[in-house]
Amino acid sequence: MEKRKCQVCLEEEEEPDELSIICQNKHFICSECADNFIISKLHSLEVDLPFKCCVCNIPIEESQIEKHLDDDQKHTYEIYSKFVTLDSKKYRIHSCPSSCGYKEILNWSELECPFFICQKEDCKKGSCIICQEFYQIPDEEVLSQEQHAELVLGSDGISKHLTCLSKKDVKDEWERCIDAQNSRPCPRCGLRGIKDDSCAHITCPKCNTKWCYVCGLDENDCDKEGTQDDPNKLSIYRHNDNWSTNSKRCPMYLRCIIEIDSRYSESDEQCMEFLHKLLFYKEIRQFINKYSEEVLYDIFKTFPKISVDKIIIDEAMTTDLTIIKR
Ligand SMILES: [Zn+2]
Ligand SMILES: [Zn+2]
Ligand SMILES: [Zn+2]
Ligand SMILES: [Zn+2]
Ligand SMILES: [Zn+2]
Ligand SMILES: [Zn+2]
């Protein structure tokens, strides 16, 4: 029998055993490496499904993957496999807040009920889908009529979560604002990304779009140096030419901005923090202009976990939010 080389550890093996993974083109991952391969893929299911062979990039048969999954992993894998076939603007994966691992796909855009009852045998907890608070599931056989009414309609009763539901869309919008504190969305698919410690160009791991972290635009939409028929103009690097005088251009490294804008610093990390602060403030301002401060503080009252200090809100409304002052 011919020897096979594992594509991960590069060891040769006489005979693949049951737990090794083999793709349609006979590329092979040994049983020792297979577990790590699967675990690393399970960490980024949203990006990595279907799992592909690291050599030929062809999806690996499901039976090859499933033999490596325990029941909880299989549940997660199945939910995500189904989820990637659905419209991600409409549907969402919701996890039981008890971190028991149980998940369900919800039609988020048409959610009619905020109540979630975990179906995992040893959990079975009831929680609000929107605020994630647990509640006691009313059991009519055990409770008296008064107890039942109190549990459902009392001031801290289950029915208060109907208010959560009514504020769902505004809460979602506010949460998107909060995300701007530490990431930016891919201009094509919306997957949130964060710049690594090198330059300001970033490639989306989901849709492969190259984009500029400073202005947030797809490389095809970035303003670039050069004439229309100049092949170099296609390169995202031309977006970095003359950035210090041209407001449509961006610097390749954030630490260069301090040359013309003293609000930034010489460390990339601090520059990034400052950029995120400005972007977050812009989101706050847009939110308040669209709704009102009152609506925002009402969201804070219903969902204290996502509230932000008033000082920050006030600063966001008054600070100069120009990304780079030229
Ligand atoms: Zn190996
Ligand atoms: Zn392959
Ligand atoms: Zn649960
Ligand atoms: Zn709630
Ligand atoms: Zn993308
Ligand atoms: Zn840019």
Q: Are 175 and 183 in contact (CB under 8 A)?
A: no
Q: What is the CA(182)–ligand 3 centre distance, in A? A: 29
**Is 294 part of a structural domain of the chain?**
yes
**Is 58 part of a structural domain of the chain?**
yes
Q: What is the CA(72)–ligand 6 centre distance, in A? A: 42
Say what the pLDDT of residue 49 is: 87
- The CATH number for 51's domain is 3.30.40
Closest of 202, 190, 210 to residue 254, by C-alpha: 202
What is the Cα–Cα distance from 169 to 61, expressed in whole angstroms?
A: 38
Last residue of a domain, one of 166, 198, 219: 166
**Is 326 part of a structural domain of the chain?**
no
Q: What is the CA(210)–ligand 2 centre distance, in A? A: 26
Can you tell me which residue has the tokens 């698919």?
A: 189
**Is 123 part of a structural domain of the chain?**
yes
If one counts every other C-beta atom within 10 angstroms of the C-beta of residue 1, the result is 6
pTM assigned to the model? 0.85
Q: What is the CA(223)–ligand 5 centre distance, in A? A: 20
Q: What is the CA(224)–ligand 6 centre distance, in A? A: 10
Are residues 281 and 155 part of one domain? no
Count of domains forming the chain: 3
Nearest ligand, measured from the Cα of 224: 6
Q: Are 117 and 104 in contact (CB under 8 A)?
A: no
Q: What is the CA(56)–ligand 2 centre distance, in A? A: 4
Q: What is the CA(210)–ligand 3 centre distance, in A? A: 39
Nearest ligand, measured from the Cα of 64: 2
Last residue of a domain, one of 63, 83, 103: 83
**Is 235 part of a structural domain of the chain?**
yes
Are residues 55 and 130 part of one domain? no
For the record, the structure tokens of 94 come out as 């919701």
Find all residues with CB under 8 Å of 191, minimum gap 6, and list them.
46, 47, 185, 204, 205, 206, 207
Closest of 229, 253, 228 to residue 243, by C-alpha: 253
Residue environment code for 186-219, b if the CB has 16+ CB neighbours within 10 A, otherwise e = bbeeebebebeeebbbbebeeeebbbbbbbbbeb
Say what the pLDDT of residue 323 is: 96
For the record, the structure tokens of 213 come out as 């972290």
Can you tell me which residue has the tokens 């659905």?
A: 86
Rg (CA), the chain: 25
For the record, the structure tokens of 309 come out as 């200090």
**Is 246 part of a structural domain of the chain?**
yes
- Domain limits for position 194: 175-318
Tell me which residues of the chain have a pLDDT lower than 50.
none
Are residues 290 and 206 part of one domain? yes
What is the Cα–Cα distance from 238 to 235, expressed in whole angstroms?
A: 6
Q: What is the CA(275)–ligand 6 centre distance, in A? A: 13
Say what the pLDDT of residue 46 is: 80
Residues with CB under 5 A from ligand 6 (ion): 212, 214-215, 250
For the chain, helix, strand, coil in percent to 5 are 40, 10, 50
What is the Cα–Cα distance from 28 to 186, expressed in whole angstroms?
A: 33
pLDDT tens digits for range 97-133? 999 999 999 999 999 999 999 999 999 999 999 999 9
What is the Cα–Cα distance from 53 to 23, expressed in whole angstroms?
A: 6
Last residue of a domain, one of 147, 166, 185: 166
Are residues 290 and 184 part of one domain? yes
Q: What is the CA(278)–ligand 4 centre distance, in A? A: 31
Say what the pLDDT of residue 2 is: 60
For the record, the structure tokens of 125 come out as 């907890």
Distance of CA 158 to CAs 137, 138, 304, Å? 9, 9, 18
**Is 323 part of a structural domain of the chain?**
no
Are residues 138 and 187 part of one domain? no
Say what the pLDDT of residue 167 is: 98
For the record, the structure tokens of 43 come out as 């960490």
Are residues 123 and 186 part of one domain? no
Are residues 155 and 184 part of one domain? no
Say what the pLDDT of residue 198 is: 82
Are residues 314 and 187 part of one domain? yes
Q: What is the CA(14)–ligand 6 centre distance, in A? A: 52
If one counts every other C-beta atom within 10 angstroms of the C-beta of residue 154, the result is 12
For the record, the structure tokens of 255 come out as 């630490």
Are residues 108 and 22 part of one domain? no
pLDDT tens digits for range 213-228? 999 999 999 999 887 7
